[in-house]
Amino acid sequence: MANWVVFLTASNVDAKALTRAFLAMHDFEFNEYPPSWGFVLTTSKTLPASKPPPTTLPITTLQASEYENLSLSEINAFVRSHEQALSAADLSHEQWVVLDQAGLEGGTCVVFDHWLRDEDDDDDDDDDDEDEDEGAGGGNDRFRACRVPWKQAHSMLSNLDIANMDFEDFVDEDAGAEADGTWKFTMDEEESTKVGEKRKKVEDELRAGGYIE
């Protein structure tokens, strides 16, 4: 399984806030800690030439992000134009994450899913220019995005990655996309006691070290 890129678009951010976000996004049920795979924080538009390790905690230093304040469409355009580079670094270009200012302050992130065109999709329109755009990998440039609580992001991404569930299974289809282009997340899964204890142990260690508030 490829790692998932986390594009940092927030403009007001510090290492402690990022540490808390990545702690919450880590899957303590199916992934070991420290992680051997998972999320890779990305602040530079120069992508790694080989597979980077997943981001580990605590995050103590932070470079200015070259993705600051980019829109969802601009991030998608970057991914589509860098598919080969992402693949070479074993980073997914089918699903990825944006950590924006709203998410950093509200405990959410935006999960993207590359919307592959289905030949049987009645909603496709040959006259729709957006649907005709093709990315570097030969697919289209369409995407769907959902604002997801940090603790739910790993599960959604994993299920999308292995095609165990579809994007529609996680969102309110009737409501459609909101004004900012994101769909409403509808899943509500409680963390088990065992998983919660694992997370709290790491949280206590990070707090004792002064790495989170």
Confidence of residue 115 (pLDDT cuts 50, 70, 90): confident
- Of all residues in the chain, the percent with pLDDT exceeding 70 is 89
Which is nearest to 121 in space by CA: 94, 144, 97? 144
Q: Is the pLDDT of residue 35 over 60?
A: yes
Q: Is the pLDDT of residue 129 over 70?
A: no
Buried b (16+ CB within 10 A) or exposed e, 160-197: beeeeeebeebbeeeeeeeeeebbebeeeeeeeeeeee
**What is residue 68's predicted lDDT score, i.e. its pLDDT?**
98
Which is nearest to 68 in space by CA: 12, 137, 152? 12
Confidence of residue 71 (pLDDT cuts 50, 70, 90): very high
Quote the tokens at residue 155. 């599960």
**What is residue 157's predicted lDDT score, i.e. its pLDDT?**
97
Q: What is the pLDDT of residues 149-158, one digit of tens each?
A: 999 999 999 9
Q: How many other C-beta atoms can be found within 10 angstroms of the C-beta atom of residue 64?
A: 10
- The CA distances from residue 161 to 96, 122, 130, 166, in Å, are 10, 24, 24, 9
